[in-house]
Chains A and B, each alone.
Chain A
Amino acid sequence: MNKVQQKRLWEWLITSPSFTWLCVLFVIPTLIVFIITFKPSDPYGGIGTGWTLDTLKSLGNPNYPSIVWRTVWLSIATTATCILLAVPTGYCMSRLSKTWQQKLLLLVIIPFWTCFLIRIFAWKVLLHPEGPLKHALVGLHLVAPDTSLLYNAGAILLVMVYTYLPFAILPIYAAAEKFDFRLIEAARDLGAHQLRAFFSIFLPGIRRGLLTAILVVFIPALGSYVIPDIVGGPHSEMIGNKIAQRTFVDRNLPHASGLSAFLTLAVLAPLLAVLVLQKRKGIEEDPLIEEDA
Chain B
Amino acid sequence: MSDFLEFKDVSKHFGKVRAVDHVSLSIKKGEFFSLLGPSGCGKTTLLRILAGFEYPDTGRVILDGQDITDLPPNHRKVNTIFQSYALFPHMTVWQNIAFGLQIARRPRAEISEEVDKMLALIQMKDQAHKRPDQLSGGQKQRVAVARALINKPQVLLLDEPLAALDLKLRQRMLIELDQIHDEVGITFLYVTHDQGEAMSLSDRIAVMNGGKIEQIGTPGEIYEAPKSSFVAAFIGDANFFEGKVVELLDDNFCRLEVEGFPDVVCYNDNQIHVGNPVYLSVRPEKFRISRDRPLEDNHHNVVQGRVEDVIYLGSVTKYWVRVQDYRISVYQQHSRFMLDEKPITWKEIVWLSWHGDDGFMLERYSESDEKLMELPPDEPGDTNGVSLGANGLPVVARATRT
For A190, the chain B residues whose CB sits under 8 A away are 74, 79, 99-100, 103, 147-148, 151
**Complex interface: stretch among B81-89, B335-343, B367-375:** B81-89
* Contact across chains for A189 and B88 when beta carbons are under 8 A apart: no
Q: Mark B96-131, 1 if CB is under 8 A from A, else 0.
A: 000110011000000000000000000000000001
Q: Mark B64-84, 1 if CB is under 8 A from A, else 0.
A: 000000001110001110101
Within 8 Å of chain A (Cβ to Cβ): is B361?
A: no
Residue from the list A185, A192, A207 in contact with B82, Cβ < 8 A: A185
- How many residues of chain A have a CB within 8 Å of chain B? 19
Using A185-B53, A186-B80 as known contacts, say yes or no to A191 and B86 having CB atoms under 8 A apart. no
Residue from the list B86, B90, B99, B100 in contact with A207, Cβ < 8 A: B90
* Contact across chains for A196 and B82 when beta carbons are under 8 A apart: no
Using A183-B88, A185-B53, A205-B90 as known contacts, say yes or no to A193 and B74 having CB atoms under 8 A apart. yes
* Contact across chains for B90 and A180 when beta carbons are under 8 A apart: no
Within 8 Å of chain A (Cβ to Cβ): is B399?
A: no
For A186, the chain B residues whose CB sits under 8 A away are 80, 82, 86-88
Using A190-B99, A190-B151, A191-B104 as known contacts, say yes or no to A185 and B73 having CB atoms under 8 A apart. yes
For A187, the chain B residues whose CB sits under 8 A away are 88, 99, 103
For B73, the chain A residues whose CB sits under 8 A away are 185, 188-189
For A286, the chain B residues whose CB sits under 8 A away are 131
Expressed in whole angstroms, the minimum distance between the Cβ of A288 and any Cβ of chain B is 11
CB-based nearest A residue for B73:
A188
For B148, the chain A residues whose CB sits under 8 A away are 189-190
Q: Mark A185-210, 1 if CB is under 8 A from B, else 0.
A: 11111111110100001001101000
Within 8 Å of chain B (Cβ to Cβ): is A8?
A: no
Expressed in whole angstroms, the minimum distance between the Cβ of A41 and any Cβ of chain B is 52
* Contact across chains for A191 and B151 when beta carbons are under 8 A apart: yes
Q: Roughly how many angstroms separate A255 CA and B72 CA in the complex, as a whole number?
A: 62
CB-based nearest B residue for A197:
B74
Residue from the list B72, B84, B87, B89 in contact with A188, Cβ < 8 A: B72
CB-based nearest B residue for A181:
B86
**Chain A CB within 10 Å — which of B82, B87, B88 has the most?**
B88
Enumerate B325-366 residues with CB–CB distance to A below 8 Å.
none
Within 8 Å of chain B (Cβ to Cβ): is A141?
A: no
Q: Roughly how many angstroms separate A188 CA and B103 CA in the complex, as a whole number?
A: 10
Expressed in whole angstroms, the minimum distance between the Cβ of A282 and any Cβ of chain B is 13
Within 8 Å of chain B (Cβ to Cβ): is A98?
A: no
Within 8 Å of chain A (Cβ to Cβ): is B222?
A: no
Within 8 Å of chain A (Cβ to Cβ): is B266?
A: no
Within 8 Å of chain B (Cβ to Cβ): is A280?
A: no
Residue from the list B53, B74, B89 in contact with A205, Cβ < 8 A: B89
Within 8 Å of chain A (Cβ to Cβ): is B307?
A: no
Within 8 Å of chain A (Cβ to Cβ): is B51?
A: yes
Q: Roughly how many angstroms separate A196 CA and B86 CA in the complex, as a whole number?
A: 17
CB-based nearest B residue for A182:
B86
For B86, the chain A residues whose CB sits under 8 A away are 180, 182-183, 185-186
Q: Roughly how many angstroms separate A192 CA and B91 CA in the complex, as a whole number?
A: 16
Expressed in whole angstroms, the minimum distance between the Cβ of B380 and any Cβ of chain A is 50
Expressed in whole angstroms, the minimum distance between the Cβ of B103 and any Cβ of chain A is 5
CB-based nearest B residue for A189:
B80
Q: Roughly how many angstroms separate A188 CA and B86 CA in the complex, as a whole number?
A: 12
For B87, the chain A residues whose CB sits under 8 A away are 186
For A204, the chain B residues whose CB sits under 8 A away are 88, 90
Q: Roughly how many angstroms separate A183 CA and B73 CA in the complex, as a whole number?
A: 13
* Contact across chains for B90 and A191 when beta carbons are under 8 A apart: no
Enumerate A204-235 residues with CB–CB distance to B below 8 Å.
204-205, 207
**Chain A CB within 10 Å — which of B51, B73, B78, B87 has the most?**
B73
Residue from the list B52, B74, B78 in contact with A192, Cβ < 8 A: B74
Expressed in whole angstroms, the minimum distance between the Cβ of B74 and any Cβ of chain A is 5
Expressed in whole angstroms, the minimum distance between the Cβ of B301 and any Cβ of chain A is 52
* Contact across chains for A191 and B84 when beta carbons are under 8 A apart: no
Q: Roughly how many angstroms separate A189 CA and B153 CA in the complex, as a whole number?
A: 10
Using A205-B89, A207-B90 as known contacts, say yes or no to A189 and B79 having CB atoms under 8 A apart. yes
CB-based nearest A residue for B77:
A191
Q: Roughly how many angstroms separate A194 CA and B73 CA in the complex, as a whole number?
A: 10
Using A183-B86, A183-B88 as known contacts, say yes or no to A189 and B103 having CB atoms under 8 A apart. no
CB-based nearest B residue for A188:
B73
For B89, the chain A residues whose CB sits under 8 A away are 183, 205
For B78, the chain A residues whose CB sits under 8 A away are 189
For B51, the chain A residues whose CB sits under 8 A away are 185, 189
CB-based nearest B residue for A183:
B86
Expressed in whole angstroms, the minimum distance between the Cβ of B121 and any Cβ of chain A is 17
Q: Roughly how many angstroms separate A194 CA and B86 CA in the complex, as a whole number?
A: 17
Q: Roughly how many angstroms separate A196 CA and B102 CA in the complex, as a whole number?
A: 11
Q: Mark A236-256, 1 if CB is under 8 A from B, else 0.
A: 000000000000000000000
For B82, the chain A residues whose CB sits under 8 A away are 182, 185-186
* Contact across chains for A188 and B74 when beta carbons are under 8 A apart: yes
Enumerate B120-166 residues with CB–CB distance to A below 8 Å.
131, 147-148, 151
CB-based nearest A residue for B91:
A204
* Contact across chains for A201 and B88 when beta carbons are under 8 A apart: yes
Q: Roughly how many angstroms separate A192 CA and B87 CA in the complex, as a whole number?
A: 14
7 residue pairs, one from A and one from B, having the closest CB atoms: A186-B86, A190-B100, A188-B73, A204-B90, A191-B103, A182-B86, A189-B80
Q: What are 7 residue pairs bridging A and B, where the CB atoms are less than 8 Å apart in the complex?
A: A180-B84, A185-B53, A187-B99, A188-B73, A196-B103, A205-B90, A286-B131
Knowing that A182-B86, A192-B99 touch, tell me 19 more A-B residue pairs with CB under 8 angstroms. Answer: A180-B84, A182-B84, A186-B82, A186-B88, A187-B103, A188-B52, A188-B53, A189-B51, A189-B53, A189-B80, A189-B148, A190-B151, A191-B100, A191-B103, A192-B74, A194-B72, A196-B103, A205-B90, A286-B131
